[in-house]
Structures are given as structure tokens and as C-alpha cells.
Amino acid sequence: MSYFEHIQPIRFEGADSPNDLAFKHYDKDRIVLGRRMEEHLRFAVCYWHNFVWTGLDPFGGATFERPWFQGGSPMELAQLKADAAFEFFAKLGVPYYCFHDRDVAPEGSTPRESQDNFKRIVDVLGEKQQATGLKLLWGTANLFSHRRFMSGAASNPDPEIFKMAALQVRDALEATLKLGGENYVLWGGREGYETLLNTRLGQELDQLGRFLNMVVEHKHKIGFKGAVLIEPKPREPSKHQYDFDTATVYGFLVRYGLEKEVKVNIEANHATLSGHSFEHEIATAGALGILGSLDMNRGDPQLGWDTDQFPNNVPETAVALYEVLKAGGLGSGGLNFDAKVRRQSIDAADLFHGHIGGMDVCAQALLIAEKMINDGRLQAAQDARYAGWDTPAGQAILNGQRSLTDLADEVLAKNTDVAPVSGRQEVLENLVNRFCA
């Protein structure tokens, strides 16, 4: 008997449906700005929170009693986990999934055993993708859970551990290519420090820069056409992580000559932990030309850590997706639910309820963002505010045709003060709220 045997495939039934296991707003075939809703959102389910996390937290042990957490050989349990995962993906009706190498296959006692375990399960995943039509949005390597990485992976003070990280990333990148993955993600969970007293910060940055260059070199060597993505996060588990936010990542990429090669995978909860909003991080990435993909979740404003809850705020998500649409979309990226049900939500159906709710929120938000784009008043207000920069005189300043002295002398020649103009923030906030009504 399968773990999800009693769950029927999830269908769109509309807002009036009394069925809790049905989409109320996510109609994948609905046309939004000339494309199907599914093509805009490109939903993915993550392997780790749904099929690896046992429900433990710092104050208590496992609460989930999934079959693949019970006794048995590690590889048999990995197969059982894959069976359950793909049944879940297929019944939920998402087009994509994402995984870390250690999510899908167990660590062995030696590097070769770990590699062999991973390759065997990658073959299983390939067979399941073929059978179900599911695709891989992105793969990645877990370079943070094992104790060898307690002082970082690419930023580790020991070059032998740097080499271990290289092995995992090479194998995970090649597995992503084999499975037809559309992106490859690097998250620096341990790439940071706890104290500067034992840290050569500059050297660790150089190590990270060299490591990322090697990843990009290998991407081209093997013919992987997808995007390489960095996922920013300011802290946790490290006190300070080098990929603090999108702007920090961009500065790092420029320093090491990678700004044309690497983009960002932005997570909502990581954005708020860095003191930014989700839409700020998206807009920053769009402006810098490095917007790649999104991890959809939310934090709890009363808690100061990464709670990875499913999104449930339609207006906030609408503003975020509005910025995505303004940036031209996500390309090969998508919306991965890096979110988990609460540790008290122990039923198999709870996994479906969490994702159904998150997908419906994103669908509602996309339709609101479409209204904002089609209405045009938000864009018109921005254009009017910056109209002076679109004139020949404004463009001459930006293009380097005017010097500091030119501008200073022009002000003195006119000898007239300039009155400020209202930013009309309240008007625009009211307008957004009306779109969400």
C-alpha cells in the first residue's frame, strides 16, 4: 500500500468547491499575459522538507512516522522514498521537483560508496521522470549537513575538505545534466564564520571565488546549458554568511568575473532575514540582470529564524510576482516550494494541503499582478516620477556627456531653486490594495 494511496489527483475545481483537496485558483491552463499559468509559475516541490525532514527541532525529536524513516537498508529506504516522492509530485500535478544529492541517496562510508549510492538513485529518478513526465527544475549538493563541513565547504580552512566539496558538486552537476535539470543551485549554508578570531575572511572569499569559477568551467566542459544559481542568505546556520543578500552576491560575482555566468535563486524567508522584502530582492536581481529562480515560503514575523512556512499572504506575493513580470519573467527558473508543514501536521494529507494552499496563493497573486501590468497606472506613476531622466538633458548626464562643473555652472546660471514633487506613496499603496480586493 502506497503512503498516498487514499489521496486522489488534485484538480482545479474553482473557488466555490467544498473540496479541501482541490485547487480553488490554480488553473494551470488559464491564459495570463499570453501564456498558460503553469508556464508563468513553473512550480516545483522540494525533496528535503517533504521527504527528508523528520519533524525534529532543537527541542524535540522526530514527529513524522513516514515509511521511509523506518528500519531497513539505506538504499532500500531511498528507493521507498523515491516511490513516495514521485507519487506525491504526480498527484499534486506540479511540473518540477528539486533535490540535494544527500536527499535522494545515503552517504556511504567512503567517497566512492557515496558516489555509487548517488549514481544508482539518479538512475531511479531518471526512470521515474520518464514514467511520470516530471522534470528537474534544479539539483544541488548538500555541503552543510555532514560534520566535515562544520567550518564550511569551499571556504573551509582545510583544502582536503575543499576537495570533498568539489567531488560532491561535480557529481551533482553531472547528475543534474543527466536528468535534464534546467538549473544548478549552490547554497552556502556553512560558507561564513562564527568569529573573526579564527577566520581569514579575505582568503575564504578567494576560495569561494575559485570554487565557483571551477563550477562554471565544469558546466561548460560537460555542456550543461542551464543556469548556475547562488541562493543568498544572511545567517543561520553561520553567524555571518558570505552570500548575505542579492546585492552582496552581485558584488562577489563582479570581483571574481562571474556576473555574466551566475544568477541568484531568491528565497522569501532569506530576504526577510536579511532585513529586506522579497520584492526588494527580486527587483534588485532584475535590475542587475541576475534574476534566476525563486524559493516560495514565508517566515514568522514574531520569530527571528528561517521557519520555511508556505506562503499565505496574497497581496505580498502579488507585489513580488509583479516585479518578476516587470523583469521579464524567470526564464529557466521557477517557483520552488522550499517550505515545510509544521511538525504537528503529521498526516499524509497535510503535505497536500500545504502545497495546495501555496499554489493557490501564487495563482491569485499572479492574476493580481496581471491586472497591475494591464492597468498600467503603477508603471505610469514611476515613469512620470523619473521623466526628467528620459529627456536629452537627463540622458546626457547618465551617458557621461556632462561634467560636475557643467552641472554646477548650469545651476548658478539659472539661479532658481527647484521644488520637490510628492512621491504619492499612499496613493500607490491604495491602488495596489484595490487590485487585491
Q: Which residues are annotated as a binding site for Mg(2+)?
A: 231, 267, 270, 295, 306, 308, 338
Q: Which of the following is catalytic: 49, 100, 276, 355?
A: 100
Q: Which of the following is catalytic: 103, 171, 243, 245?
A: 103
CB distance 341 to 350 below 8 Å: yes
Sign of the four-CA dihedral 368, 370, 374, 376: positive
Strands 43-46 and 35-36 come out as unpaired
| Residues in the annotated binding site | 231, 267, 270, 295, 306, 308, 338
Q: For residue 328, is it left (φ>0), alpha (ψ between -120 and 50) or beta? A: left
Does the annotation count 100 as an active-site position? yes
**CB-neighbour burial class of residue 85 (10 A; exposed 0-12, middle 13-18, buried 19+):** buried
Q: Nearest-CA neighbor of 296 among 210, 247, 366?
A: 366
Dihedral pair phi/psi, residue 262, rounded to 5°: -125, 140
Strands 262-267 and 227-230 come out as parallel
Bond prior to 301 in cis (omega within 30° of 0)? no
What length does the chain have? 437
Does the annotation count 116 as an active-site position? no
E-strand ranges in 160-206 read 183-186, 192-193
CB distance 366 to 41 below 8 Å: yes
Bond prior to 237 in cis (omega within 30° of 0)? yes
Q: In angstroms, what CA-CA distances link 154 with 61, 143, 215, 255? A: 31, 9, 11, 17
Q: Greatest CA span in the chain, whole angstroms?
A: 85
Type of residue found at 194: E
Residues annotated as catalytic (active site), given as ranges = 100, 103
